[in-house]
């Protein structure tokens, strides 16, 4: 198949994907009913009594509460999460589902630890890097780029 036909197909598919990148952001509220850090930092009081789910980095831990830093789109807000006894260190990441209460407080219904400490994050990216490298080595063991047709071809024909 001629190269320009393939380039044309790729262009159409890329433009469609680009359209999705824009459409998804414009319709984000339809999939995420909860306020984010930007919403909370501009009009916190208007969300009091509403359900909320946020991802946050733990900055302080106490007996049955913790303090988390929530960021989104360059906005950041510190929230106190009450009603939780979760084993997590400062620097770890948690998901919190609960109710917005006055004074920057979330009454937690459920708290899930995403990364129990900073090391958990390193582990995740380390395993992913090993995966990426291993895959590339494996892929080019079986496939090669044909520089005449600019297509991927099996090494054994």
Rounded to a whole number of angstroms, the minimum distance from the CB of residue 2 to another protein is 10
Determine the straight-line distance between the first and last CA of the chain, rounded to whole angstroms.
18
| Residues 47-66, mask of contacts with another protein (x by CB under 8 A) | ----x-x-------------
Listed ranges 37-45, 56-64, 75-83, 92-100: which one lies at the site for another protein (CB under 8 A): 92-100
Burial of 79 (0-12, 13-18, 19+ CB in 10 A): buried
Identify the residue among 73, 102, 147, 148 touching another protein (CB under 8 A). 73
**What tokens were used for 81?**
């999460």
Identify the residue among 4, 26, 87, 103 touching another protein (CB under 8 A). 26
Paired sense of beta strands 65-72 and 51-61, if any: antiparallel
DSSP assignment of 23-88 equals HHHHTHHHH--S--HHHHHHHGGGGTTSEEEEEEEEEEE-SSEEEEEEEETTEEEEEEEES-----
Q: Percentage helix, strand, coil, to 5, in the chain?
A: 40, 35, 25
Q: Check binding of 110 to another protein (CB under 8 A).
A: yes
Listed ranges 57-65, 75-83, 99-107, 125-133: which one lies at the site for another protein (CB under 8 A): 125-133
Element (H, E) at 101: strand 93-101
Q: Check binding of 85 to another protein (CB under 8 A).
A: no
Listed ranges 35-43, 59-67, 75-83, 122-130: which one lies at the site for another protein (CB under 8 A): 122-130
Residues that bind another protein (CB under 8 A): 1, 6, 9-10, 13-14, 16-17, 20-28, 30-31, 51, 53, 73-74, 95-97, 110-116, 120-121, 123-125, 127-132, 134-135, 138-139, 141-143, 149, 151-156
């Amino acid at each position: 198949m001629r190269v320009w036909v393939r380039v044309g197909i790729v262009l159409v598919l890329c433009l469609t994907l680009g359209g999705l990148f824009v459409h998804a952001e414009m319709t984000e509220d339809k999939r995420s009913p909860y306020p984010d850090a930007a919403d909370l930092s501009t009009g916190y009081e208007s969300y009091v009594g509403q359900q909320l789910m946020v991802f946050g980095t733990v900055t302080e831990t106490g007996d049955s509460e913790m303090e988390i830093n929530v960021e989104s789109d360059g906005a950041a807000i510190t929230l106190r999460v009450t009603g939780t006894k979760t084993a997590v260190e400062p620097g770890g990441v948690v998901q919190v589902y609960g109710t917005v209460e006055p004074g920057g407080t979330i009454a937690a219904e459920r708290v899930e630890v995403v990364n129990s400490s900073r090391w958990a994050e390193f582990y995740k990216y380390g395993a992913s890097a090993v995966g990426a490298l291993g895959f590339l080595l494996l892929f080019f063991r079986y496939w090669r780029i044909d520089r005449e047709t600019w297509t991927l071809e099996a090494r054994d024909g």
